[in-house]
Structure 1
């Protein structure tokens, strides 16, 4: 199922920074009405100054999910993009293990998307044609050693995405997964090199939404996906070193 984005209403979580900030601009450029979300007051204000509707909420806690849903009320949504995500310090080798950060990361990256989808699904079904896009990561295919909590949360979201895709077949709600590589954002500052720009990443996700691809492998994830399809063990052996 392809989707013409012009005239559609799209909700993008985490749209005030990074990939999300580029997604909302590009979706608006396609003629979509965009509702987004952020939790940093300064970035929320800056995004509103660009003319976007922004709901301020912290999706790393249950109260934030409730605040987002309450602000949406019964607004019709044609596409939901679960983009908000974060990592946390969790490395036994350095002694930097943030247990509270891990808990909030799991909630933001995994629990919040599942809650939002479940609560918005009746409305999405009523639209006749709708899409859900869960932004996971290439690290959902094969984890690295440096960010186990982030990897686990994204792998969980990947499994959830595949499961509900099968459940919702024939309902008019298409479930897509976008798997970015290492992208140049505030979250990845000081981590690795050869990063993809957030604008290019967003462009490939938007194109995937229009084409209706079930899996949007972005940039170098196309190669990782190929390796993983041939030998999951090899993909894991390559990625775990980082």
Structure 2
């Protein structure tokens, strides 16, 4: 896909990976809208030349607000990047309210946005839907049960969506990042990829029409998983 002149939406695009993806799409000539919840980061995004929309995608109302704000916009690229971790200790603090928010943001929101924008995107000369999952969609870690479950669900949904859109002009890409340097991973002690480098791989995947973009260390996890899914699970559950 030639990005220059395209119109893109990046969810969670005011921070972390999403902000870097938005910047790099804009550098390539795209008109980029982002969404988020933090007023300060939204203001910074507007100052940087993005259409910045306040929307809480952990709720249906937030998804509806975003869709309404972009009504009539000829969207060519949809990057479903927004996400949150959710509870980690199911025995000690299984916060169901936070669980529900994480499930909606990570899994339901991409489905809501795809359903809303898909009819118009099918009319575009070329279009791309990018769902950002995780290496943890291949094998879960004990410290992220809700996050891993939602990313595995989004991976399955993405595979079926790609199959159902195979005769259209829409490319469906799954991006699988490793541990990336973001606010969400501040307490993670493992080696992290920069958000800039991760975003660069996602943008290249859009440009080249990749169906799956295994980024950084997830390439190794993919190889292990294909060789022995059981081994991959044993390794990652303790990660």
User: Given the alignment of the two structures, is residue 172 of structure 1 paired with residue 169 of structure 2, yes or no?
Assistant: yes
Match for residue 178 of structure 2? 181
Mind listing any 5+ residue stretches in structure 1 that lack a counterpart?
A: none
> What residue in structure 1 maps to residue 218 of structure 2?
221
Secondary structure at the aligned position of 1:97 is classed as coil
Q: TM-score, normalised by structure 2?
A: 0.98
Is the partner of 2:232 in helix, strand or coil?
A: helix
Q: Aligned residue for 1:154?
A: 151
Deviation at 1:128, TM superposition (A): 2.6
Task: Give yes or no for contact 1:90–1:102 (8 Å, CA) kept in 2.
Answer: no
SS in 1 for 2:122: helix
Deviation at 1:46, TM superposition (A): 1.4
Residue in structure 2 matching 1:54, options 49, 52, 55: 52
Give the C-alpha shift of residue 209 in structure 1: 0.8
The match for 1:28 among 23, 26, 29 is 26
Asked if 2 retains the 8 angstrom alpha-carbon contact of 1:142 and 1:240, the reply is: yes
Equivalent residue, structure 1, for 2:189: 192
Contact kept in structure 2, 1:65 and 1:116, CA below 8 Å: yes
Alignment map for 1:133-148 (pairs within 5 Å)? 133-148=130-145
CA–CA distance in structure 2, aligned partners of residues 106 and 167 of structure 1: 24
Match of 1:97 among 90, 94, 97: 94
Describe the superposition over 1:77-123 as per-residue Cα deviations: whole angstroms up to 9, x where unpaired. 11100011111223135x12221111000000000000100111110
Q: Once the 2 structures are TM-superposed, how far is the Cα of residue 129 of structure 1 from its aligned partner?
A: 1.1
Q: Conserved in 2, the CA contact under 8 Å of 1:90 and 1:98?
A: no
The C-alpha deviation readout for 1:193-223, integer Å capped at 9, x for no partner, is: 2100000000111111111110000100011
SS in 2 for 1:15: coil
Provide runs of 4+ in structure 1 moved above 4 Å.
none
Quote the residue 1:7 is aligned against.
5
1:125 matches 2:122: yes
